[in-house]
A = this chain, B = another copy of it.
Amino acid sequence: MNKKKLRISVLAALVDGEWRGEDVAVQELADLAGAGVGQLAYIDDIRKMAAAAECSASALIVPLAAEELSLPVIKVSDPAWAAAVIHNHLLSKDFVARGVDARAVVGEGCSIPDEVSVGPLALIGDRVQLGHRVEIKAGVVIGDGVTIGSDVLIHPNATILDGSIIGDRVIIHSGVVIGADGFGYAHDQQGRHVKKPHVGYVRIDDDVELGANVCVDRGTFGPTWIKRGVKIDNLVQIAHNVEIGEDSIIVSQSGIAGSTTIGRNVIMGGKVAVSGHLKIGNRVTMAGKAGVISDLEDGAVVAGFPAFAHKKWLRAVALFQKLPELAREVRELRIKLQELAGKPDDK
């Protein structure tokens, strides 16, 4: 791999930063502990300045408030953000279009531009439309009538089922299943289940990323809709007709039941469960393992199961651990009270 080598003056300009010291060139971003010559590292907190001083990197990205160092630095207001932007820039390269591999299978009526890479053993169904610079890896299966935007990357063994609509710059990791039937049944008088046909679809907007083995079910009617910029970690379940607002973040092993609407810039910690048919506002934060069973207003911060205000939850769980002491105290109070009540009427 030919890596770019860029001067820190150039990189600083990318992130509206100021550079200090020698205008060295770097090729890679590395972590603080492991960085060496030709590498750039970053600290996101001035409390790490001691470690920074011992770092062997060629240059450092530091917060604005950082003191002078012997190394060249790029000073920025948000080093984590600047490091990500610079790292992406250093790694970026022109798309290499390898076309459709002869060992891939492509259906009828597809619209596939020249500038794509479809790997061997991938299958593309009928009437599929691909945008530019789409990369589809081995073992991926794309169903009939799927539409995929530009600059999309689909990792090996992902499955995108019939009728799904995928935006631009979407990243789909291995094992993802988009568009399986939602889980919905009617029940007859003998308690047997009659499958409700799921004739809806999945819509995934621009800049979404879906982690490995994520499931996004199709709508019963209409879409299951994941909006621009949503990032979803591995093994998450998104049921039929869920809507997730822009820039929300869902950590691993969370699940959202059918027909729930999640607002924008929501954060769901790991293993969160949200019941069906709820309305979760914007900028809501659900702590890891929360179980949400009612609507939440904009900006709510909740934890526990059933979830309630995170601050109250912290106090409640602290007392939960002390329930034995509390119960003992109540027992002692009862005994004292009985003693007191029974105290002979003195005289």
Contacts and interface: CB of A to CB of B under 8 A. Distances in A.
Q: With a 10 A CB-CB cut-off, give which of A155, A171, A212, A271 has the most chain B CB atoms.
A: A212
B215 A211 contact: yes
Contacts of A138: 105, 123, 141
Nearest to A239: B252
Contacts of A188: 81
A237 B255 CA distance: 14
Contact of A177 (B161, B175, B197, B229): B175
Interface in A226-262: 229, 231, 233-235, 237, 239, 247, 249, 251-253, 255, 257
A337 B334 contact: no
A157 to B, nearest CB: 5
Contact of A156 (B141, B289, B326): B141
A177 B87 contact: no
Q: How many copies of this chain sit in the oligomeric assembly?
A: 3
Nearest to A179: B174
B329 A308 contact: no
Contact of A323 (B171, B231, B315): B315
A195 interface: yes
A50 interface: no
Interface in A184-220: 185-189, 191-197, 199, 207, 209, 211-213, 215, 217, 220
Contact of A312 (B212, B220, B324): B324
Contacts of A221: 30-31, 34
A237 B220 contact: no
